Amino acid sequence: MITLKSPREIEAMRQSGAIIAGMHHMLQDLIKPGIDTWEIETKSRDYIESHGAVPSQVGFEGFKYATTISVNNEVAHGLPRKGLHLKNGDLVKVDTVVALKGAVSDSAWSYAVGEVTPEIQKLMAVTKKAMYLGIDQAVIGNRIGDIGNAIQQYTEVENHYGDVRQYIGHGVGPTMHEEPQVPHYGKPGHGIRLREGMVITIEPMINIGGWEVDTDDTAEDGWTVTTSDGSWSAQYEHTLAITKEGPKILTSQDAKFDAKYL
C-alpha cells in the first residue's frame, strides 16, 4: 500500500533528512586514506544519536550497524569492518537511514578516498547526475517508468555503464521500505502514476562494467553485494517528496546546488 504524506509529515522527514545531510558533511572531512571503516561507522552513529535521532538500520533483519559501507566493487550493503583501512584511490559508498521522532529519511553518498583515477571521477559524476535526472522526472502525473528510463538512458545508452537491476529505490516513511518500488530502469509512461504526497528514494547504483551483481543471498557475510564482473560501482541517493511545486529533496547536502528542489 502506498501512503501519502501530509505537509506536516514531509516537514518532519526533512528534519530527519537534515541529520543525514549533516552526517555526510562530517564524512566529507573524515574520509581520507588510512581511515578504518569502523571509524566511519562509529563516528556516523555518534553523529546521528547526538542529534536525538535513531539509526534505523540497526536491528533491521538482523543488521547490526548504523551504516552500510561498500568499497570499490562492492555495490551495496557492505559491513563496517574493523581493520579495513581505505587506501588512496578507493571509492567508498556510505548509506544510512535515520528516524527522528518517527520520521524516517534515507540517503547514500559516494566518496573518493584521496585522489581517484579519471575513470572513477567520471563514474561518480555520471551516477550523481543520473540521480538528479531521475529526480527531475518525479513530478505529479508522471509514472515510475519515467524516472527509471531517464536514468537508464543516461547511464547505459549514453555512457555504456551497467545500471543495477536487483536493488532499487522505494517509498519511505514511517517505515524504512514501503511501496512503491522505484527501479532505475524502465519504459516512459509505464508504472504507477506519481501523486502529491508520495515520498520516495531515488538511488541508482551504477557499475563501470555490466549491471549484474552477486546478491546478498549469496554473499559470504550474508549482506555485501558485489559486481559480478569485479568492476567498480558508485551510488547516490536522496529522499524526496512529490509536491505541487515539483520534487522536493528532503536529504539535501547543498542548499545552493539543490535550490530548485528545496
Q: Could you read off the pLDDT of 166-181 as tens digits, one per residue?
A: 999 999 999 999 999 9
- Tell me if 106 is assigned to a ligand binding site: yes
In a domain, 47, yes or no: yes
∠ CA 168-209-203 to the nearest 5 degrees?
20
Between CA 22 and CA 150 the distance in angstroms is: 29
Query: Is the separation of the CB atoms in 183 and 140 below 8 Å?
Result: no
Give the model's pLDDT for residue 112: 98
Query: Is there a binding annotation on residue 177?
Result: yes
Q: Which distant-in-sequence residues (6+ apart) come within 8 Å of 49 by Cβ? A: 55
| Nearest residue to 240 via CA among 104, 130, 135, 127 | 135
User: Residue 176 is part of a domain; what is its CATH number?
Assistant: 3.90.230.10
How many domains does one find in the chain?
A: 1
Residue 121 domain-assigned? yes
Could you tell me the maximum CA-CA distance found in the chain, to the nearest angstrom?
49
51 is an annotated ligand-binding site residue: no
**Domain span holding position 143:** 7-261
- Interval 108-152: pLDDT, tens: 999 999 999 999 999 999 999 999 999 999 999 999 999 999 999
Q: What was the pLDDT predicted at 22?
A: 98
Q: Please indicate if the annotation marks 170 as binding a ligand.
A: yes
Within a domain: 1: no
Judge whether 29 is annotated as a binding position.
Answer: no
> What is the value of pTM for the model shown?
0.97
Is residue 2 in some structural domain? Answer: no
- Is there a domain that residue 44 lies in? yes
Quick check: is 216 in a domain?
yes
- What is each CA distance from 21 to 28, 128, 171, in whole angstroms? 11, 16, 19
Q: Report residue 123: phi and psi, to 5°.
A: -55, -45
Q: Which residues of the chain have pLDDT under 70?
A: none
- What are the phi and psi torsion angles at 119 (to 5°)? -60, -45
